[in-house]
Amino acid sequence: MRPLRLRRSTTTKVFRITSVVIIAAALHAAAPKPKLVREINVNALIHESEGLMPSTHSVQALAFSPDNKWIAVAVGRHYKPGTSDPREFASHVIVVPTEGDAAHPLQIDPGVWVTQNALIWAPDSSAVLISADAAPKWYAIPGGELWKHGKPDSRLNMVLGFVDARLGMAYASQEERSRAEREGAPRVLYIFDLTGRIVDEWRVPSRWWFAAVNPDRHLVAVSEDSRLASAPFPIFAYPSKAEIQGWSVDKTFGWPNFAEAGKTVCGFGGYGRAVPYATCWDVDTGKKIAGFRGFRGGDPVSVSSQASRIVLTHIRNYRGITEEFDMHSYHDRVVWDFRTDKVIAEWVPITQATETGMRPPEDKRTEFGPSVISPSGRYIAEGSNGIIRIYELP
Comparing 16-30, 32-46, 106-120, 199-213, which segment has the lowest mean pLDDT?
16-30
Per residue in 9-48, pLDDT tens?
Answer: 333 332 333 333 333 444 445 689 999 999 999 998 888 8
- pLDDT, greater one: 308 or 112: 308
Q: Are 392 and 37 in contact (CB under 8 A)?
A: yes
How many C-beta atoms surround the C-beta of residue 362 within 10 A? 8
Q: Are 255 and 274 in contact (CB under 8 A)?
A: no
How many C-beta atoms surround the C-beta of residue 98 within 10 A? 20
Q: Rounded distance, CA 312 to CA 342, Å?
A: 13
| pLDDT (average), residues 197-217 | 88
Measured CA to CA in angstroms, residue 288 lies from 18, 266, 312, 343 at distances of 26, 10, 19, 18
> Per this entry, what is the length of the chain?
394
Q: Rounded distance, CA 280 to CA 339, Å?
A: 9
pLDDT on residue 61:
95
Q: Rounded distance, CA 263 to CA 219, Å?
A: 10
- Provide the 8-state DSSP code for 195: T
* Average pLDDT, rounded, for the chain: 82
Q: Rounded distance, CA 391 to CA 345, Å?
A: 11
pTM strictly above 0.75:
yes
Per residue in 327-366, pLDDT tens?
Answer: 778 889 999 999 999 999 999 999 999 888 777 556 888 8
Q: Rounded distance, CA 250 to CA 338, Å?
A: 21
Share of the chain above pLDDT 70, in %: 85
Per residue in 248-267, pLDDT tens?
Answer: 545 556 788 999 999 999 98
Per residue in 66-80, pLDDT tens?
Answer: 999 999 999 998 888
pLDDT band at 116 (very low <50, low <70, confident <90, very high): confident
pLDDT on residue 390:
95
The dihedral formed by the CA atoms of 344, 306, 117 and 121, expressed in degrees to the nearest 10? 140
Backbone angles phi, psi at 22, to 5 degrees: -65, -40
pLDDT on residue 23:
38
pLDDT band at 150 (very low <50, low <70, confident <90, very high): low
Q: Rounded distance, CA 168 to CA 319, Å?
A: 42
Q: Are 247 and 233 in contact (CB under 8 A)?
A: yes
Q: Does pLDDT of 8 surpass 60?
A: no
- pLDDT, greater one: 239 or 3: 239
